[in-house]
Amino acid sequence: MKVVIVESPAKAKTINKYLGKDYEVLASFGHVRDLPAKDGSVRPDEDFAMSWEVDSAARKRISDIANALKGADELILATDPDREGEAISWHLLDVLKQKKAIRKDTPVKRVMFNAITKDAVTEAMANPRDIDEPLVDAYLARRALDYLVGFTLSPILWRKLPGSRSAGRVQSVTLRLVCDREAEIERFKPEEYWSVGARFNQKGKSFEARLFSVDGKKTDKLSIKNEAEATALRKIIEAGNFNVSNVEKKPTRRNPYAPFTTSSLQQDASSRLGLSPSRTMQIAQRLYEDGLITYMRTDAVQMSPEGIDQARRAIAKEFGADYLPEKARIYQTKAKNAQEAHEAIRPTDMFKHPDTMRNSDPDQARLYGLIWRRTLASQMKSAEIERTTADIAVNVPGRDIELRAVGSVVTFPGFLALYGVEAKSTDADEDDEDSRELPPLAIGDKPALEEALIEQHFTQPPPRYTEASLIKKMEEIGIGRPSTYSATLATLKDRDYVRLDKRALVPEDRGRIVTAFLESFFRRYVEYGFTAGLEEQLDQISAGELDYKQVLREFWQDFSNHIAEIKDLRVSEVLDALNDLLTDHIFPPRADGSDPRRCPNCGTGQLSLKLGKFGAFIGCSNYPECKYTMQLSDAATGNAETAGAGDGVLGADPESGEEVFLKSGRFGPYVQLGDGKDAKRSSLPKGWAQEAMTLDKALQLLSLPREVGLHPETGLPISAGIGRYGPFVLHDGKYANLSDVEEVFTVGLNRAVDALAQKAANGGSRGGRATPAAIKTFEHDDGPITVRAGRYGPYVNQGKINATIPKDIKPEDVTLDQAVQWIAARAAQTGGKARKAPARKATTKKAATKKKAAEKAN
């Protein structure tokens, strides 16, 4: 019996079909050990010795593998064909050796297959090799670098920038890209310009031409600066006669795109299918494990000879010989050291048409179709296009004005018949001239003027990055690798450093402050060139050209020295640097030209960035005399005059006569009754917009908590209010949630008593909810697994372990393999232990005395 180890159960199931009864295929569920998230896991003083920890969930899997090896003739490590896959095999082998689970005479082989097909698996088994040590060294270097940067830099962030999260080697540089683009947008000053042209008619067909030259001088986009110039040119055109002075027809070719890499797949899936990079990789993983596509983490664009041959035969079948070039197209990878998968992403069977996927998961079918079309298109003939340029002279005495019309006709679609070119992202005023078709024109023709055209425009700032365009930029400058792109972006969103706004990445204030801090005090380590250079060194390690320990020594010597210099940095120095670097963002110019840093409350203080327990805010330099504060978001949008103390008066309280204010504080908008330190305040609940606040609504909030009535059984009061966890009713120290905020003001005694009773019946846990009914149930060796819809979203459950289902997967679509993976991952995070009830607090001496006195009184 031969034992084969792969990463996932789905992959194991597929491979098991190909290998037969002489093989036992087991899944490791990814990595079986990792660096513990604590100090000392990487020790530079011990020449970068690393401590690895096997998580509790992995212990059982390793035990299963060890048991299988007792009677095995051979161990075959068949993890993924890249750096991470090599590392998983290395970890497994090292752990099994430590457990003495492998006999000295048991052969250990490493095999790789780029696709999970019978031919690929059979060929891999026939050509085993040893573990690639340089590839493992590159993995160790990357893990050590990421650990050292994260665990050294993050504590400094926490101390110097309260409210900040951690910093990472690649994430910080990627965040800087997003923040730099935002700063570019803020600094951008629109420039006015005008377009001038005309609409003509030639033999019943309209076409447009644009101004090309004036008095012998060629014009460009910004040549016409104002309406007066544009109007004068329009009058000249309207007064002229026209003739075609030159016609040029030029045949051109448009070549197909290369097959997909990880980066280009994520970009096209985003622009054409609307899929996020993480969702794209999740679907691609399933397609790979089902044997439908080759390995999906690669930056290689070349295809195997077998793949090319199959693609060419599929093209001949689908489109005919006319669409097949005489010779196969060979693409070369531009990356200096492409990911170790060695082949582009392609279908394993080119004859499997996307139409056969109609009964599959819709997103899987769409992504497979995209990969299929791109792969076949890459081997098709070029599109043939005839581009026509016609110059039209405007005959006006004393002036030399020329217009130009450009159009094109596709004479042979070639690859465009299968994989059309994406629409260009341009301003509304910039037509794609190549998409227009001109009527037949010849020198001497005199087209009739239909209308002279002028239009005002303004230059546009550079667009914000989308996830796809940011990945493209990361690839261009050499930051990260295919396997890290989507994870890096997910980390930035999870840490609230960036947010998605209509697919655009917008840096949050927290992210901008972290970037400004790192640029001020760790500039070298967030420079694009430095990070790209480090990636090149890691690639050289994987190629066996560099010693990974030497790379770590050189990095750590400079980095640790810099940390020592920064460690004693005063907070005032940090604030001065951030104020300077973020001035354009937090103190934009005011419309009236006054000092944007002047305090609008006291009039004499200077506004400055401040750091509090929960993060950064804007405050006055005259504190504590002036307690003006403002959120960064208000500062960035120029709302300084209406933020903070004295935002606005909603009216007067009819009972007390005191004014009711609407204010913006560090923790969001709130209402306040009267002035002074002891004035009553109430935050606006979720869903209540600041601009929709009225005096009545403010008084309602300020009246809380309100008494609903006396409980019929205990005679004790029931009150209603809004707390940290939303609207509630309270009786004798026990809370019950209400359905929405509005109910706080209307809830009656019967409804309140019923809510409290339901809470008690459900065990008194927060939220008062019983375990939801199972949507699906799976039988499993370790106990049944159920799919349920919980209060905070759908989840899977096994025993006392709950694992959240990803947002993009419907509960009813969950498979057993997915559920097992999520349960295993969750068990690894929690240590696989049941959640215990909180320990009973020890009785204090004071409480014991009080209890004894109460018992005596009774």
Q: Which two tokens stand for residue 155?
A: 């504590």
49 in Cβ contact with 154 (< 8 Å)? no
Determine if residue 763 is left, alpha or beta; phi over 0 gives left, psi from -120 to 50 gives alpha, anything else beta.
Answer: left
| φ/ψ of residue 418, rounded to 5 | -115, -35
If DSSP codes are grouped into helix, strand and coil, which group holds residue 365? Answer: helix
Burial of 284 (0-12, 13-18, 19+ CB in 10 A): buried
Q: Name the DSSP letter for residue 622.
A: T
What is the C-alpha to C-alpha distance for residues 313 and 46, in angstroms, rounded to an integer? 58
Q: What is the DSSP letter of 650?
A: E
Beta-bridged to residue 148, according to DSSP, are none
Tokens of 122: 């059979």
Q: Report the chain's terminal Cα–Cα distance, integer Å.
A: 76
In the numeric block, the tokens 């300084």 are attached to 640
Burial 222-232 (b: 16+ CB within 10 A, else e): ebbeeeebbee
295 is catalytic: yes
Cis peptide before 9 (omega within 30 of 0): no
Contact 134, 22 (CB under 8 A): no
Residue where the block lists tokens 């006999």: 103
Residue 707 has what DSSP assignment? E
Contacts 24+ apart (CB under 8 A), 708-714: 708/747, 708/748, 708/749, 708/752, 709/748, 709/749, 709/752, 711/753, 711/756, 712/749, 712/753
Inter-residue contact 747 to 738 (CB < 8 Å): yes
Residue linked to tokens 């209060």: 791
**Torsion on CA atoms 257, 259, 264, 266, rounded to nearest 10:** 130
CA distance 737 to 749: 14
Residues in CB range of 497: below 8 A, 6 or more apart: 165, 171, 175, 507, 508, 510, 511, 514
Within 10 A of 650 (CB to CB), how many other CB atoms are there? Answer: 19
Q: Of these residues, 288, 295, 465, 485, which one is catalytic?
A: 295
**Angle at 228 (CA atoms; ends 222, 234), nearest 5 degrees:** 85
Q: Rounded to whole angstroms, what are the CA distances from 621 to 544, 597, 624, 626, 665?
A: 57, 10, 9, 8, 17
Distance CA 560, CA 475 (A): 28
Closest-CA residue to 483 (of 338, 332, 287): 338
Q: Which of 222, 214, 234, 223 is nearest to 404 (CA)?
A: 214
Cα separation values, 664 from 625, 628, 631, 637, 677, Å: 19, 10, 7, 13, 16
Q: Enter the tokens of residue 453.
A: 């055209």
Residue 7 CA, chain-centre distance (Å), reads 25
- Rounded-to-integer distance, Cα 517 and Cα 511, Å: 10
CA distance 621 to 601: 11
Annotated catalytic residues are 295
